[in-house]
Amino acid sequence: MSARQREALAAYAFLMPNFLGFLAFTSIPVVISLIMAFSHWNIFKPPSWVGIENFRNLLWFHHEGKRIVANDPFFWQYVYNTVYLMAGIPIGMAGSLLVALMMNQKLRGIVVFRTIYFLPSVCSGVALLILWKYLYNADIGLINKSLRLAGGVIYSHPAIAIPFTIFCALLFGVTVVGIIAVLLVLVQWLSAKIGLEWQEGAYRVLMVIAGAAVFISIGIYSRYFYETLSSFFFSPPDWLGTVQWAKPSLILMGLWGGLGGYNMILYLAALQGVPTSYYEAAEIDGAGPWAKFWAVTWPMISPTTFFILVMSIIAGFQGGFMTANVMTGGGPAGSTTTIEYYLYQTAFEKFNMGYASAIAWFLFAVILILTLITWKLGGKVVIYE
């Protein structure tokens, strides 16, 4: 046996443990779960082949009188919950980038700040969730206590209440106008893609109209705005106890942990990998900080953004188990049950392994399709150096 062959054999020997582990604990279960998805198996008795019945019960609809009803209405509610909770992904990514930009400054003691921002990622997940559960408590939670305290101070003094309400109204108005602006940019971009060029100045005119409409509306409904705001402070919501607030509360909590987590580290590494010569060249061309960000930083870190986006979508579809299990029990009224938690309940509480496998394979198909779409679209936008 030649030295090269021995070396190759040694390499295979090194690979073998991982390969065997992958085969035993990943590949074989994956194949078996695919077979299970077409079977009925309750663990007690051997599986029996049922064809597409599990998928029909999961995804199909039937008539009830004149109405069309899902065979499993729970499932579609949980799909909606899962997608809703993924609304935090773009906000979280933008936040992570912002934090990474701040942490990328050459300041004294910046390492301490980086550690602080990364701390939520190394803390015990369950402990954090219990902590948040108390923070969100409607009566004794820190958030509601602070809101009531602030409300008491602000709304008992008109001299503070009126400027505060105006400030909040302006902030609200600017946010709405900002969202409209982003939507219009998207429409403009899509129009250009299908060959419809906008008249010059049309964007500005539309923005002025939108801005005027938003602020006039706020002016007309100022009294309502004042009352809503004051009641929000005096009677803050039951964050985890109401259908309207449970999901936004979980998104907010996710942002807290997500901003300074692994995404920030990835962005930080990407930012430190941008060659300084590009910035120098941009400065020579007269670019300011904003122009440098858009023309140099953003394109250079686009592969990282793309990676984070794909991974976040995958994690988003596979998430929600721990929060549902520890914080909400999937409620109220199933409003925080995600596909993953439903899969767990189906498999390990109802022992309906075949149906749970069908849910798992549906989830896999959705993630695969979305990843392929993202890959296809992202490939055109991402710039590799």
Positions touching other proteins (CB under 8 A) are 1, 3, 6-7, 9-10, 12-14, 16-17, 20, 40, 42-45, 48, 50, 53, 57, 64, 69, 71, 73-74, 130, 133-134, 137-140, 148, 152, 234-235, 238, 241-243, 331-334, 345, 348-352
**What is the nearest approach in angstroms of other proteins to the Cβ of residue 335?**
8
Q: How far apart are CA 24 and CA 66, in angstroms?
A: 50
* Beta-bridge mates of residue 61: 70
Contact assessment for residue 185 and residue 200, using Cβ atoms and an 8 Å cutoff = no
Helix axes 158-193 and 142-155, enclosed angle (nearest 10)? 120
Q: How far apart are CA 166 and CA 57, in angstroms?
A: 53
Which is closer to other proteins, CB of 129 or CB of 214? 129
* Dihedral angle, C-alpha 111, 116, 122, 124, nearest 10 °: 160
Can you list the pairs that 240-243 forms with residues at least 24 positions away whose Cβ atoms lie under 8 Å? 240/133, 240/136, 240/327, 240/328, 240/332, 240/336, 241/138, 241/332, 242/332, 243/332, 243/333, 243/335
The tokens for 226 are 């004042």
**What is the nearest approach in angstroms of other proteins to the Cβ of residue 137?**
6
Q: How far apart are CA 327 and CA 125, in angstroms?
A: 11
Which is closer to other proteins, CB of 22 or CB of 348? 348
Which is closer to other proteins, CB of 246 or CB of 270? 246
Q: What burial class does residue 49 get, using C-beta atoms within 10 Å of its C-beta: 0-12 exposed, 13-18 middle, 19+ buried? A: exposed
**What is the nearest approach in angstroms of other proteins to the Cβ of residue 14?**
6
Contact assessment for residue 75 and residue 341, using Cβ atoms and an 8 Å cutoff = no
Which is closer to other proteins, CB of 42 or CB of 115? 42
Q: How far apart are CA 124 and CA 134, in angstroms?
A: 16
Residue 384, φ and ψ in degrees, nearest 5 = -100, 135
Which is closer to other proteins, CB of 133 or CB of 292? 133
Which is closer to other proteins, CB of 12 or CB of 262? 12
Which is closer to other proteins, CB of 53 or CB of 283? 53
Contact assessment for residue 230 and residue 155, using Cβ atoms and an 8 Å cutoff = yes
**What is the nearest approach in angstroms of other proteins to the Cβ of residue 222?**
24
**What is the nearest approach in angstroms of other proteins to the Cβ of residue 164?**
18
**What is the nearest approach in angstroms of other proteins to the Cβ of residue 16?**
5
Which is closer to other proteins, CB of 92 or CB of 334? 334
**What is the nearest approach in angstroms of other proteins to the Cβ of residue 82?**
16
**What is the nearest approach in angstroms of other proteins to the Cβ of residue 127?**
13
Q: How far apart are CA 375 and CA 367, in angstroms?
A: 12
Which is closer to other proteins, CB of 10 or CB of 116? 10
Q: In the structure, how many helices (H) and strands (E) does the chain have?
A: 20, 4
* Beta-bridge mates of residue 64: 67
**What is the nearest approach in angstroms of other proteins to the Cβ of residue 296?**
44
